[in-house]
Amino acid sequence: MISDISIVRLECPEPAEYYNAYITTPEISRSFGSTLQYACPTGYAWVGGVVTCSTAGSWQSEGQIEGCLVLAPGSNCASDTTCSPVVSAKCKSDVCVCPAGFSYLPDTSACTRDCKSLFNSGVQSNGVYEITPDGINSVNTLCDMENGGWTVFERRFIGNVDFMLEWDAYRQFFGSLNGDFWLGLDYLHALTVADSDIYFDFTTSANQPFYARYHNFSVADNHTLFKISMSSVYEITPEYSNIRNGGFYDHNNMYFSTPQHDNDISATNCASTRGAWWWNKCYTFGMFLKSFNFMKMYMGYNDTYVYFKETTMKVRRTK
Ligand SMILES: [Ca+2]
C-alpha cells in the first residue's frame, strides 16, 4: 500500500539571473548550504549579499536581492547620510548606489530617471536634460520644471518635422529638441510603468489655451502594441468639458496604429489618412500627427473640430 508521498527537494534550482550580474563562485553547487557570489560590471554594485541554498530548496540572501545597481560617488558608506551629497543615493552593501531603475548623472550630481526625479533633485529650470527612463538607456528630452517635473514626449509648434511615419520610427526619438519632436514609444512605456498622469498642453488656432489631464495613464510595451490605459478621472478646459466620451479617454485600451499597422477597431485604417495614434474609430482626440495643419480634435457634436497651432504632451509619475 502506498502511503502519503511528499516530494522532498534535495537541491536548489538553477541560480536566478539578474540583469548585468554574473556569478563569480568557481564551482556552482546546488546542494543545501552552498553559496553563490554575484558580481557586476564596472560602475555597478551587487546589492543582495551572498546567496545561499536554503533547506527550503530556494536561493536566499540575508538581505533583499536588488541586483546590480548603479554606483553613486561616495565610495564606502555607513549610512544614507554619507551618500547624501548625491541626491537620492542610498547606502547599500556598504557602498553608495542609486535606487533600482535610476542612473547617476554627474552634471546634476543626482540619481535620476525622468524629469520628476531631476525636479526632486532641485533642478528648477525648464530645458533639455538627459534622462534614463528604463534605468539603462539615456536620452535627452525637454523637462517642464515650472509645473513640477513633467517629461515632455511630444512637441509640435513649428511644423518642419514629418510625423507621417511608420512603427519603427515611432518607437524611437525623431525630430529636434529645439523644435518639433517625438520622444519614442519605448521610452514612453518605461516612463509610465510607475503610476503616471498624462497632460495635453495645447494652444488653439485662435490662440486660446487648451489643457486635458488624465490619471493612471500607462503605455504597454511593443509586444502589446503600446496599448494605453487610463482611469476615467480627468480634468479638461471647462469650455470643452462636453467633448465626446471624455476626449482622450475615448481611446482607453486602444493599441497604437501607424499607416501600415492598423490596430484600430474601425473597419477602415484610421492611421493611413490621419497619421499614427492610439486610434479607435478614427474620431475624437488625436488627428494631429498627420500634418501640422491638421492638428485637430473632434468634439463629437455638430461636426465641430478644434484646431491647434501648438501641441505639447507630457507625462509625470505620481509618486
Ligand atoms: Ca481597422
Distance 165 CA to ligand 1 centre (A): 17
Class of 115-317 in CATH: alpha beta
Percent of residues in the chain assigned helix, strand, coil, to nearest 5: 15, 35, 50
**Spacing, Cα 55 to ligand 1 middle (Å):** 55
Among all chains, which residue has been given the C-alpha cell 485604417? 269
Calculated CA dihedral for residues 153, 158, 164, 167, nearest 10 degrees: -20
Distance of CA 259 from the midpoint of ligand 1 (Å): 10
Rounded to whole angstroms, the Cα distance separating 55 from 15 reads 15
pLDDT by residue, tens only, the chain of 319 residues? 555 566 666 789 999 898 889 999 999 899 999 999 999 999 899 999 999 999 888 999 988 899 999 999 877 899 999 998 888 899 998 999 998 878 887 777 788 889 998 888 788 899 998 898 987 788 999 999 999 999 999 999 999 999 999 999 999 999 999 999 999 999 999 999 989 999 999 999 899 999 999 999 999 999 999 999 999 989 999 988 888 888 899 999 999 999 999 999 999 999 998 899 999 988 777 655 666 777 777 777 666 788 889 999 999 999 8
Q: How far is the CA of 272 from the centre of ligand 1 (A)?
A: 10
How far is the centre of ligand 1, averaged over its atoms, from the C-alpha of 190 (Å)?
27
Ligand 1 centroid distance, CA of 278 (Å): 12
Distance between Cα 235 and ligand 1 center (Å): 29
Contact 166, 258 (CB under 8 A): yes
Closest CA to 118 of 95, 93, 152: 152
* C-alpha 285 – ligand 1 centre gap (Å): 17
**Rounded to an integer, what distance in angstroms lies between the CA atom of residue 129 and that of residue 116?**
11
Q: Where are the domains of the chain?
A: 37-104, 115-317
158, three cell numbers: 513649428
Backbone angles phi, psi at 77, to 5 degrees: -140, 160
Q: How far is the CA of 279 from the centre of ligand 1 (A)?
A: 9
Whether residue 88 contacts residue 98, with contact meaning beta carbons closer than 8 Å, is answered with: yes
Name which of 79, 84, 74, 76 is nearest 122 in CA terms: 84
Closest listed residue to residue 212, CA positions, set 308, 132, 78, 79: 308
Task: Provide the whole-model pTM.
Answer: 0.77
Q: How far is the CA of 271 from the centre of ligand 1 (A)?
A: 9
